Chains A and B, each alone.
Chain A
Amino acid sequence: MSVSEATDWLDLRVEGLKKSFGSHEVLRGIDLSVGKGEVVVLFGRSGSGKSTLLRCVNFLEEPTAGVIEVAGIRVEGGGLRTKAQRERIRQLRIRTGMVFQEFNLFPHRTALENVMEGPLTVLHKPRREVEATARELLAMVGLPDKADHFPIQLSGGQQQRVAIARALAMNPRVMLFDEPTSALDPELIGEVLSVMRRLATELHMTMLVVTHEMGFAREVASRMVFMYEGEIIEEGPPAQVLGDPQRPETRRFLEAVL
């Protein structure tokens, strides 16, 4: 496993990432670096490849070509996987937290058990320590009294906050958010965004976020990345990208959503 030097300040690097579904090329060569504590917001029309990019980062989608590097673990995309390569992907996933649009909590486990699952099963940490951390995390996302609730007994916003706690419990280097508020009723979006804001501002978590919440992006993002037809065509600090977009595609998209 080659740990590359001179990338200590980087938590995530994507090089030349390509992804095709059949003959349809969804990603056409993406280069993206996310530094420690950076919050990068990916935005663009649906079908522009932003979710696919996010899902390629932890190999839920197998890239057709390119390199993904998380916390010094480099994995090349494409081709068949040997056992050793699959293990390297697993190591990469352990260092990556993922929050899904549809929450995907384990319905047969309580909120607390959901948060404990990763550290217990994957990291084999002692139960007592794991439970204490899990309770702290539930408190941090504002749900200290919901530990013994099953997901179905929680609202969408509460479920998503448990899902964030579950991902954080692995102590990841990078958090990936795949449209975390898109499945929520409008009145529940705020509670999830405020948890994400705390992650960024108080914990300085490295985050890669796909979202349509431009208000959140303006306030929290260190950098905004606009994707168009499988390519990054514009990026920069929110004030610049939102205030003075350079590309006509970006301008048109922003006019439509703002």
Chain B
Amino acid sequence: MTTNGGGGAPVAPPPAPGYQPGRRERLELYSAHVPFTLKLVAVWAVILAILASLFAIADFDTAWMLDHAEFIARGITWTIVIAVFAIVLACILALLGALGRLSRNAVAVGVTGFYTSFFRGTPLIVQLFLIYLALPQIGLALGDPWLDILTLDVLTAGVIALGLNYGAYMTEIFRAGIQSVGHGQSEAAEALGMTYRQKMRRVVIPQAVRVIIPPTGNEFIAMLKDTALVSFLGVSIERMEIFRRAQLVGKADFRNLEALIVAALIYWGLTTVFQYFQLRLERRLSKGYVRGTAGVAVAGERAAPAG
């Protein structure tokens, strides 16, 4: 057989007796025996080795990095505080936004439509500066109590801007989650005599949460990184988050590469940790959707024939 049936492309002739595979072929055969995981580890090792050699050329100061890592890492608290408050705000806004988009009330549809359109249509950094710098100007024009109210400190402005921006994007996530709950569920709730609020709170939203959690986790991880934008507003040293701290020490000692690498590693570590928690939460939420997760009796039934 010299050709295969389909394309008629020539196929390598069978090895003659005493055939010696070439070097390339031997390598291929050898590679097939190496476990995939081992190969992955090797690839990562090579990438890190290349990076390390680049750093070495750039006169990378590991000692300086270790010395200043703690100072930069102290920003973790503020990074997480900003991200957590902002994601809570974003979830509240997204829920209200989704309910508004899905309602038949003109006010609700109009307000949420304006909200999502504006905050998805303008850059986050612009929104950040608008809230921090432009609001006090409006406060000034409005007079006495408003100037105080609308003059926000940096972290509050950051939380509000991030919350508003992410809430606008997450409105779509929440809306899709709510719509993913079958119409039969709504009817069952209504047939029991539930009000709209009861139906949403007891039946629809708990089921929508399952669909909403994974993309919301992604949003939180993205937000964790976007907290770095808050540093552009400038804060006092004890309230600086990771990126601002890295910039500060990096510039002072002209060790920008080292400082930024530390910041990047910290962000990377944080996101990895939160991804792990997200995975666990998703598993827990599948309760009631996977056969045999919660049923003691189900396990009993399986065991019965054996005993």
Contacts and interface: CB of A to CB of B under 8 A. Distances in A.
Interface in B98-157: none
Interface string A76-114: 000000000000001101101110101011111110000
A152 interface: yes
B234 interface: no
Contacts of A109: 288
Interface in B190-212: 190-195, 198, 202-203, 206-207, 210
B289 A148 contact: no
Contacts of A153: 291-292, 294-295, 298
B288 A152 contact: yes
Nearest to B191: A98
B185 A104 contact: yes
B185 A150 contact: no
Contacts of A107: 207, 288-289
A166 B203 CA distance: 14
Interface in A140-162: 145-146, 148-153
Contact of A118 (B193, B288, B295): B193
Secondary structure of the A contact surface, majority rule? mixed
Interface string B275-307: 000000000000111111011111000000000
Contacts of B296: 148
A245 B203 CA distance: 45
Contacts of B185: 104, 106
A95 B182 CA distance: 24
B188 interface: yes
Nearest to A119: B192
B297 A149 contact: yes
A55 to B, nearest CB: 9
A229 to B, nearest CB: 25
A93 B196 CA distance: 13
A149 B298 CA distance: 8
A151 B185 CA distance: 13
A71 to B, nearest CB: 13
A96 B182 CA distance: 22
B187 A100 contact: yes
Interface residues of B, number: 28
A2 interface: no
Contacts of B290: 152
Contacts of B190: 60, 93
Given A109-B288, A150-B288, A170 B297 contact: no
Contact of B198 (A100, A121, A146): A121
Nearest to A60: B187
A58 to B, nearest CB: 6
B184 interface: yes
Contacts of B289: 107, 150, 152
B184 A102 contact: yes
Interface string B157-201: 000000000000000000000000010110110111111001000
A93 B193 contact: yes
A96 B188 contact: no
A122 interface: yes
A179 interface: no
Contacts of A105: 188
Given A102-B184, A152-B289, A117 B191 contact: no
Contact of B194 (A96, A122, A150): A122
A110 B287 CA distance: 10
Contact of A122 (B193, B210, B287): B193
A253 B195 CA distance: 40
A102 to B, nearest CB: 6
Given A102-B184, A109-B288, A153-B295, A170 B207 contact: no
A58 B297 contact: no
A91 B193 CA distance: 7
A21 to B, nearest CB: 16
A151 B295 contact: no
| Nearest 4 A/B pairs, CB to CB | A94-B193, A98-B191, A104-B188, A104-B184
Interface of B: 182, 184-185, 187-188, 190-195, 198, 202-203, 206-207, 210, 287-292, 294-298
15 contacts: A93-B190, A98-B188, A98-B191, A104-B188, A106-B207, A108-B207, A121-B194, A122-B192, A146-B297, A148-B297, A150-B287, A150-B288, A150-B295, A153-B291, A166-B192
